[in-house]
């Protein structure tokens, strides 16, 4: 049986991840390989409940419980959705994954990256994406885009300096693992971004065939 492929989309707020994920899903479906698409936090009944808590602007949540809640959603998602799909040779597209915790709760909130990495290893059984698309964007632009979509959620309400640290956190992660990451300027035209993403995914799929 052919192996699965695990692709994640990362980036700051308003970078267009969901749009590009949907376009990639459509492309894959057209070529006879409809993917499993999911997102974090969410993707399972537990994850959806946890998501409501995490994004609720009425709540104050400390960095550690915040990270643990994202991890709870992630643990269930890996176990119930991502691993079973990969085990049956499917392509899985996930809107955010563990890199978001390293960038938001690590670089953004200041939690110890070694602690985050260790717990995330337990949570995911060390499952790493085969490819991570980082849609990089100046957070001032991204937050403005996100604001035009409606009321800001709890994370979108955090100040600009927090979101700048998050952006740099993502760029640092990408620099540490250049093989896994494809970094793209999210301010570019969506059609050309979709073309670059499609090329990278095709390369990974071809490499599997050998």
Binding site for ligand TYD (CB under 6 A): 13, 17, 40-41, 55, 70, 95-96, 100-101, 104-105, 155
Nearer to ligand TYD, 42 or 205 (CB): 42
Are residues 46 and 69 in contact, defined by beta-carbon separation less than 8 angstroms? Answer: no
Nearer to ligand TYD, 99 or 130 (CB): 99
Q: How many angstroms separate the CA atoms of 200 and 205, rounded?
A: 9
Element (H, E) at 134: strand 131-136
- Min dist. Cβ of residue 110 to ligand TYD (A): 13
- Min dist. Cβ of residue 123 to ligand TYD (A): 10
**What's the DSSP call for residue 96?**
S
- Min dist. Cβ of residue 1 to ligand TYD (A): 30
- Min dist. Cβ of residue 136 to ligand TYD (A): 13
Nearer to ligand TYD, 55 or 127 (CB): 55
CA pseudo-torsion sign 164, 200, 28, 195: positive
Nearer to ligand TYD, 28 or 74 (CB): 74
- Min dist. Cβ of residue 208 to ligand TYD (A): 26
Q: Phi/psi zone of residue 49: left (φ > 0), alpha (ψ -120 to 50 degrees), beta?
A: alpha
Q: Give the closest residue to 77 by CA, choosing from 34, 115, 44, 49.
A: 44
- Min dist. Cβ of residue 195 to ligand TYD (A): 22
What letters, b where the CB count within 10 A reaches 16 and e where it falls short, cover 62-96? eeeebbebbbbbbbbbbebbbbebbeeebbbbbbb
**Pairing between strand 5-10 and 36-39?**
unpaired
Nearer to ligand TYD, 70 or 205 (CB): 70
Nearer to ligand TYD, 54 or 194 (CB): 54
Total count of residues recorded for the chain: 210
């Amino acid at each position: 049986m052919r192996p699965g492929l695990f692709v994640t989309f990362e980036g700051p707020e308003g970078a267009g991840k969901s749009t590009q994920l949907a376009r990639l899903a459509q492309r894959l479906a057209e070529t006879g390989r409809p993917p499993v698409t999911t997102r974090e936090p969410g993707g399972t009944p537990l994850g959806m409940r946890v998501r409501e808590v995490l994004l609720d602007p009425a709540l104050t949540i400390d960095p550690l419980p915040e990270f643990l809640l994202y991890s709870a959603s992630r643990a269930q998602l890996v176990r119930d959705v991502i691993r079973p799909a990969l085990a049956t040779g499917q392509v899985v597209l996930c809107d955010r994954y563990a890199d978001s915790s390293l960038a938001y709760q690590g670089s953004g909130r200041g939690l110890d990256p070694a602690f985050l990495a260790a717990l995330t290893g337990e949570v995911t059984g060390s499952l790493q994406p085969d490819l991570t698309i980082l849609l990089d964007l100046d957070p001032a632009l991204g937050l403005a885009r996100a604001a035009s979509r409606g009321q800001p959620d709890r994370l979108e309400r955090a100040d600009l300096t927090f979101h700048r640290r998050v952006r740099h956190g993502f760029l640092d992660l990408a620099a540490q693992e250049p093989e896994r990451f494809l970094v793209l300027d999210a301010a570019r035209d969506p059609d050309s971004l979709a073309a670059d993403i499609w090329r990278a995914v095709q390369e990974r799929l071809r490499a599997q065939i050998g």
